[in-house]
Structures are given as C-alpha cells and as structure tokens.
C-alpha cells in the first residue's frame, strides 16, 4: 500500500483509497459509481466532495459500488473496510481447533495484494 492514502469513515466502517494507485487510473470508475456523489476528481486522482462528518452520518449510502467498479474497471485502489466481529470470532474458533481459513484479512495487514 502506498504512503499517500485517503481514508474516511462511513456509517458502518471506512473507505481507504491508495491515491498513488488512483493517480494511475484512467477511468476513475469509483466516481462514476458513487451514487452519493461523495467522490470527485482532483488532478489525476480523487478527493472528497462532501464533509467527513456528513459522510459518516449517512452521506455514503454504502452500496460498495465504488469498490466494485474500482476493482473491475479501475486500478484496485479503493477498499471498503467493514468490521465483522462475528467473523473475527469465527476465525479465532477455527484457529483454536487448529484449522486454517483462506478467507481472512487480519487487522494491520495490507488490504492490497503485493
């Protein structure tokens, strides 16, 4: 993950955008997909088009379309991070039983593949 990161909270989680990767994107598909219009173009990248407190209070409708379009037509620069405490407890139980899970991203790990 690059050092130039745009991160902001939404009602149930947060959105993280790697702006270095984003600047290389030609489509800016995330902006087009955002029905809430919280993202806008800024130079070769994206910026917030709404105040952070308004985004967190429901300005982002959390459709996750921005992430999907970024993955499909963009550079994979945007991630929607939603906490799932029940899933974390499930993974811990799997580990206690000595089993492995191929579906986990632990806190502190990069959300982008190397």
User: What tens digit of pLDDT does each residue of 1-51 get?
Assistant: 447 999 999 999 999 999 999 999 999 999 999 999 999 999 999 999 999
60 secondary structure, DSSP code: S
pLDDT at 2: 47
User: CATH classification of 5-82, choosing from 3.20.20.20, 3.30.70.20, 3.30.70.270, 3.40.630.10?
Assistant: 3.30.70.20
Residue 26: count of CB within 10 angstroms of its CB: 9
Cα(100)–Cα(94) distance, integer angstroms: 7
Task: Dump pLDDT digits (tens) for 75-98.
Answer: 999 999 988 878 878 888 888 888
Residue 65: exposed, middle, or buried by beta-carbon count in 10 A (0-12, 13-18, 19+)? middle
CB 74 within 8 Å of CB 28: yes
């Amino acid at each position: 993950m690059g050092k130039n990161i745009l991160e902001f909270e939404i009602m149930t989680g947060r959105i993280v955008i790697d702006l270095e990767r984003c600047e290389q994107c030609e489509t800016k598909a995330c902006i087009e997909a955002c029905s809430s219009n919280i993202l806008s173009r800024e130079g070769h990248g994206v910026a917030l088009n709404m105040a952070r407190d308004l985004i967190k209070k429901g300005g982002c409708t959390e459709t996750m379309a921005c992430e999907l379009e970024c993955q499909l037509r963009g550079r994979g620069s945007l991630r929607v991070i939603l906490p799932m405490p029940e899933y974390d407890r499930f993974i811990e139980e799997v580990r206690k039983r000595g089993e492995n899970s191929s579906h986990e991203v632990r806190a502190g790990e990069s959300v982008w593949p190397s």
